[in-house]
Structure 1
Amino acid sequence: MTDRATMYDKLAELIGPFNKKAVELSEATTFAGDLEWDSLTVMDFVAEVEDEFDIVISMNQQAEIENVGQLVDAVTKLVG
């Protein structure tokens, strides 16, 4: 079981290489709006997260995750 703060830190670390505009991350940072990720970047990032935590994030879950905080909650739930 991983606590939420640790999960946030790990996911922020994974976001780093994809954060081309050096946007300051917060729970409210959105992937499409703030980070300006296109669908290919999202797919590459999701693959990284899935590999890191040995989980599968379904397409339905991906569609519901719009910001960093939602991602932290979703991955924490899948890992837990």
Structure 2
Amino acid sequence: MLNREVLMDYILECLQGMATGNQEIKPDSDLVNDLGLESIKVMNLLMMLEDKLDISIPINILLNVRTPEQLLDALLPHMESTNGSV
């Protein structure tokens, strides 16, 4: 079972390899404006998370997501409904 901190570390690690430039990636970094992620990279991030967590993540989870912290907040309820408490 993954806790919140471990999952955030994994999200930030994945983003490190995707972001344009050498800026520090933080939980409140804007995925598009700060990190330069295009939609295909965001989809790749979702696929990496699906593989790591062994779940299927609905695309609509991204509707209001702009930062890694918001992504984590959107993922946790989905994970809990799929696998029980995180």
Q: State the TM bucket, normalised to the shorter chain.
A: 0.7 to 0.9
Q: What is the match of residue 21 of structure 1? A: 21
The answer on whether the counterparts of 2:61 and 2:75 sit within 8 Å (CA) in structure 1 is no
Q: Aligned equivalents of 2:47 and 2:63: distance in 1?
A: 15
TM-score under structure 1 length normalisation: 0.81
* Paired positions, count: 80
TM-score under structure 2 length normalisation: 0.76
Q: Aligned equivalents of 1:65 and 1:57: distance in 2?
A: 14
Pairing 1:68–2:80 present:
no
Measure how far apart 1:67 and its partner are.
0.4
Larger radius of gyration, structure 1 or 2? Answer: 2
Q: What is the match of residue 59 of structure 2? A: 59
Measure how far apart 1:6 and its partner are.
1.5
Q: What is the match of residue 83 of structure 2? A: none
Measure how far apart 1:61 and its partner are.
0.9
With a CA cutoff of 8 Å and minimum separation of 6, indicate the structure with the bigger relative contact order: 1
Instruction: Determine helix, strand or coil for the equivalent of 1:64.
Output: coil
Q: Aligned equivalents of 2:2 and 2:47: distance in 1?
A: 20
The answer on whether the counterparts of 1:27 and 1:69 sit within 8 Å (CA) in structure 2 is yes
Measure how far apart 1:75 and its partner are.
2.6
Percent identity, aligned pairs only, is 25
* Structure 2: tracts of 5 or more residues without a match: 81-86
